[in-house]
Amino acid sequence: MRHLLGILGVLAAGVLLAVSAAMNWRFGLSLGRTEMDGQIYGAASAAADCLKALVPFFFFAAMRNRMWSQAAASAVVWVVVTSYSLTSALGHAALNRFDTAGQRTLAADNHKDLRGDLDRAKEQLSWIPQHRPASTVQGEIDRVKTQKAWTFTSGCTEITGKQGRDFCQGYHSLNAELASGTESKGLETRIATIQAKLVSEGGGQNVGVMAEADPQAAVLAKLTGLDLEKVQMAMTIFIALLIEVGSGFGMYVAFSQWRLNDRKAPSAPAMVPTYSTAAVAVAEEQPVLQPAPAPVAITKPRSGANDNRSAPAAARLMAPETDVERYYKEKVETQDGSSLTATSLYEDYCAWCEEQQKEPLALPTFGREFGELGVQKAKVAGRVRYIGIALKSDNDLQEDKNLPALSTAAA
């Protein structure tokens, strides 16, 4: 389950990092005067954004290893690249939000105009009197023109007598009805065109969709009672922070599931020491050697470093040693009244690992394993010190190397 959460976290952080890098690349691209300059600025901006996600690893690793100068440099780099990335994210978010809001404003205004035209056209259509279809009226007018009264009145231009007046009155009524039919047809065509535009723009029956240019900001402004422009600015800043914080620390948080910088120390092996009479005699003949602390020799098998060198093959420990145990046997001796700081001990351990061509453990892991050897630890003047031990000199190391030969001769 832990690995699944870690993988999902890395994927989510990777998406945020990709989005942030793309925004930085576009922002850097807009800074160049030429296409080549834009590509250079864009690449530098994207690289800075990726570095922003890696710096937390470097910073906390330097803090853990007490490398203060590297930690300070990492902090400075992180502040610079994060500030640059934040400004580009703010610019990109503001440009997109306000541009989208502007387009929606224009669309809303256009929608309102179309709705107004539609209402006016419908109102004008309601004013037109009842009439027959224009084609029917036109046919009847053509039929009237074939009558003798049409010729007698010279096309209703010379009206004489009651019969001529009645004929021309009917003719003019037909013309008025034809005009109403023609105007009605034009208005119906206009209404159909406006409705088609409303449908194509997404209006249709759902008129409220285009009522606000920025619906999210409008709702938040109503809930908080703030001005719409302030809400839009706050939302722009929030989006930029979401992208920058998520892309900056997402990877570090996701990789914490695997604890990359903390290697678990192996448990102490069960060792069975066996000593011979000859080994005890040799140990008594070497007064310069400091015996290991009694609690370590009895309860912790790692503490029998010096005794193990003077013991014959049958008395050697039967379980494998860790690197910390070997370092303790080869480089550390017990000495009353002496003490070592944790930093100096760890530095000497790193030098020993370099001589042995081994990779040193991290300082917290080394301190935990070394503390399991039974060495007393105390905090003096704000610094952790190991009490009762000292680093072996070169003469002591040479003497330790000669111990097996002395032990064999004594045997």
Of the candidates 238, 217, 374, the one whose C-alpha atom is nearest the C-alpha of residue 293 is: 374
Q: Which of 188, 186, 189, 210 is nearest to 198 (CA)?
A: 210
Q: Are 335 and 231 in contact (CB under 8 A)?
A: no
Residue 273: the pLDDT is 46
408: three-class secondary structure by DSSP: helix
Q: Which of 54-63, 224-233, 250-259 has the lowest mean pLDDT?
A: 250-259
Chain centroid offset of residue 195 CA:
45
CB within 8 Å of 370: residues ≥ 6 apart:
324, 328, 345, 386
| Amino acid identity for residue 398 in this structure | Q
Tokens of 332: 């550390």
Write out the DSSP string of 132-178: --HHHHHHHHHHHTTSHHHHHTTTTTS--HHHHHHHHHHHHHHHHHH
Domain boundaries, the chain: 2-104+216-255, 131-210, 277-410
- Global pTM reads 0.38
**CATH of the domain spanning 277-410:** 1.10.10.10
pLDDT, tens digit (0-9, with 9 covering 90-100), for 89-144: 777 777 777 767 767 777 777 878 888 898 999 998 888 888 888 888 898 888 88
Q: Residue with structure tokens 């494998």?
A: 320
Alpha-carbon distance 159 to 174, whole Å? Answer: 17
Burial class, 260, CB count within 10 angstroms (exposed 0-12 / middle 13-18 / buried 19+): exposed
- Does pLDDT of 359 surpass 70? yes
Spatial CA neighbour of 221 closest among 234, 205, 207, 209: 234
Dihedral sign computed on CA atoms, order 238, 240, 244, 246: positive
Tokens 């093959």 belong to residue: 313
* Per-residue pLDDT, 348: 92
Indicate the Cα dihedral angle 15, 74, 366, 306, nearest 10°.
Answer: 150
Predicted local distance difference test score (pLDDT) of residue 81: 84
CA dihedral 333→338→340→341, nearest 10 degrees, is 170
pLDDT digits (tens, 9 = 90+) for 55-94: 888 888 888 888 899 889 988 988 888 888 888 777 777 7
